[in-house]
Structure 1
Amino acid sequence: MARKLLRDLPGSDLYYMSKFTQGDEEEKGIRTFEGSVRLLFPDFFREYTGLIVFISLGAVVRMIAPVLKDKKVDPAVVVIDDRGDHAISVLSGHLGGANELTREVARLIGANPVITTASDVQQTIPVDLFGRSFGWELDSFEKATPVSASVVNEEEIAVIQEVGERNWWQYPDKPIPPQIKSYDSFAAAWDATFQAALVVTHRLLTPEETVRFLGNGVVYRPKTIVIGIGCNRGTSAAEIESVITETLLEQKLSIKSVRTLATINIKADEEGLLAVCEKYGWPLETYTPDELNEMPMSEKSDTVFRFTGAYGVSEPAALRAAQADKPLLTKKKSGNVTISLAIWQGEGTR
């Protein structure tokens, strides 16, 4: 079974005791060891994001206990019994991906997946994973545990969603429970009765909204903000980053909701832009002058056209990358940088 998983799980490594050597370990990249596997777990926890262990559940619990840190950093741990009848999600079921790994392993070896996290058993919203498949970020884990308790205890839940993908319910054969109510704005939910709130927005909340909804609530940041950028050749990363962060703050938007940066293709090698994208993990999308000229613009610049072949850069680039018809911020010029903002209108957002 272990060798089958090595073959079928891309990027996996296999370790077993040297007494089980078959002679082809070097050829297949299999690593053997002497002594207790318990001594290897500190290194495994540092080096891998997921561990599949063919040892009894109780033994695994005792071995990993001394190296546990936090569910936000611990790897997924899945235990398989000696006969391969059961694949058991043991650690980091949600954030670490152990539940997903358990299902995949069970599928590959024909085992029964054993998953005990309450939201999976009850088929409801997993608070710490809500929207993760779309790239949403949980703003803070501070209230994640009490909000999760409210969800699994079937209390009244308000989902306030201003932006982002709307197809977040992941159980096609089960309707959304009646105690989970959705609202498309804070105003619509203001007078509602609820015990916990899940807020999906790219906006920075006002003090009044924070008090009303985050007493027992969490905020998710969907990837909806598209930044169109134009800049002079050689503009530093520091200046570009400063203009972006200042503009987002002026617009009361969270930097965690930035989806992508967009610009003209002649800026594809602009070092400052590339450095900022690398720092924040943002993709850089580039377009030809013809592609930019196809987009609506608040004003066309003959000067920009003479140098680039496009009548504008930041605004049409933002609109094209966002699949939008109008910008949130038409254009702002600051030093060597021109910036525009648009809200992503792609699949699932309408």
Structure 2
Amino acid sequence: MNVFWGGEVQEGNPFCSQKGFPSWSASSSPGSPPSIAVHTLTASDEAVRVCRELGGVLYAPDRFASEVGAEGFGSFVEHVARVWGAYRGHVFFAACGAVVRAIAPLVRDKATDPAVVVADPAGRFVVSVLSGHLGGANELARVVAAVTGGQAVITTATDAVGAPAAEVLAARCGLGVENRAALARVNAVLAEGGTVPVFDPDNRWVIEESGLARFFEWVSDPGVIEAGRPHIVVDVREMGNVAGRLVLRPKVLAVGVGCRRGTSGEEIAAAVRGVLAERGFAAACVGVLASVEVKRDEAGIAWAARECGVGVRYFSARALDAVDVPSPSRTVKLRVGTASVCEAAAMLAAGTNRLVVNKRVVGPVTVAVAMAG
């Protein structure tokens, strides 16, 4: 987790091409590394088939690896430790106990651990073992079971009773989870068949699945929610730390940045943080930084973008100069060929013609903010 930006960087960024949890239903695109490792301790035909269908990498003991077209390994425990972080999902055709012992020293956090699924050699039972929701192991188990003709075994509380899991729905809506500590309380209510209040002023909590909306009740003001009752807030604004409040962040803010040559990343980051805080916006909602093409080699801008886990979009001076902005500058026009850098870049990156924060000058840095729809 990035401490400076105050929220975990998750998938679901509207400034990227994909959102939600990883899809396990198709093989990797040409040229991209496989996202799934399939490990088998026996010469399992089902392991070979699953690996082929999902476009993964097959691993097997050295003694028969060549027979099944797999990459070989000696010690199973050492092999798992070596490849653990290289894949988003691991499918094991092995005994559950052996797998649990192998992965136990490697497990760190549900937000970062890869998905782990374990199946018997014939693929009759496919068990979601680790990172069922956030890592997508529940869905991976279902996909593997569909290939083998077996039964997916899902033991997470909400799935067991047919209730939604808040983090799964959040990812589908492109929302980042800011305080995972509240997830357990919200999901406990859902697992018991209860309803969870939702404050969502911009209508970003969209429930498309039939029958799931009944688990939520939308409120116009979080102040009307009974104290201590688990609830969800979906907002770009900073919210108070309230017991039971799960805060979900849409990464919809495009921050336009201009700076003097050689400005440090720390100065740029501090300027962005200060402007957002001044206007009450959560830094966790930043989806992209944006600037003018001639700033592409500015190390400070790249550093600030890495700090918030987002990319930088650079626009040509010509494209920026065509944008109608509140605060054009003749001086900037003479220097870089456009009357606006930060305001125009923010609006272009967000795909909007208005700003939520007009240009602010903070020392050697200029900052403007736009919000994607």
Contact 2:163/2:212 (<8 A) preserved? no
Equivalent position to 1:176, from 199, 209, 213? 213
- Give a deviation string over 1:48-69, Cα, whole Å, max 9, x none: 4432111234554455456544
Deviation at 1:34, TM superposition (A): 4.2
Q: Mapping of 1:72-87 within 5 angstroms?
A: 72-87=111-126
For 1:299 and 1:63, locate their aligned partners in 2 and report how far apart those are by CA, in whole Å. Answer: 59
Question: 1:72 & 1:161 partners in 2: Cα distance?
Answer: 24
- For 1:302, the equivalent position in structure 2 comes to 330
Q: Return 5+ residue gaps in structure 2 as ranges.
A: 1-45
Task: Report the CA distance between 1:333 and its aligned residue.
Answer: 0.9
AA of the residue aligned to 1:200: V
Partners in 2 of 1:65 and 1:312 — Cα distance?
Answer: 54
Q: Distance in 2 between matches of 1:232 and 1:265?
A: 14
Residue 165 of structure 1 pairs with residue 199 of structure 2: no
Post-superposition CA distance 1:53-109 (Å, at most 9, x none): 112345544554565444344432211222223322122201222112223323444
Equivalence for 2:190: 151
Name the aligned partner's letter for residue 224 of structure 2: D
What TM-score do the two structures reach when normalised by structure 2? 0.78
Gaps of 5+ in 1: 346-350
| Separation of aligned partners in 1, 2:290 and 2:86 | 35
Structure 2 residue 68 is matched with structure 1 residue 32: no
Q: Relative to 1, partners in 2 of residues 1:274 and 1:62: Cα closer, same or farther, differing over 3 Å?
A: closer
Which whole-Å deviations, capped at 9, do the CAs of 1:97-137 have from their partners, x for residues lacking one?
21122233234444433323232344443123342245422
Q: Structure 1: which amino acid aligns with 2:355?
A: P
One-letter amino acid of the structure 2 residue matched with residue 176 of structure 1: A
How many angstroms apart in 1 are the aligned matches of 2:268 and 2:106?
A: 41
1:158: how far off?
A: 0.7
Q: How many residues align?
A: 327
Structure 2 residue 272 is matched with structure 1 residue 228: no
Q: Secondary structure at the match of 2:368?
A: strand
The answer as to whether partners of 2:90 and 2:114 remain within 8 angstroms in 1 is yes
Match of 2:267 among 207, 219, 239: 239
Deviation string for 1:273-294 (max 9, x for gaps)? 1121123221111222332233
TM-score, L = length of structure 1: 0.82
* Amino acid in structure 2 at the alignment position of 1:15: Y
What's 1:197 paired with?
A: 231
Task: Give the letter aligned to residue 309 of structure 1.
Answer: G
Query: Aligned partners of 1:303, 1:38: CA distance in 2, in Å?
Result: 63
* Cα RMSD (Å): 2.7
Contact 2:237 2:282 in 1 (8 A): yes
Structure 2: how far apart are the matches of 1:192 and 1:278? 37
Distance change in 2, residues 1:128/1:24 (3 Å) = closer
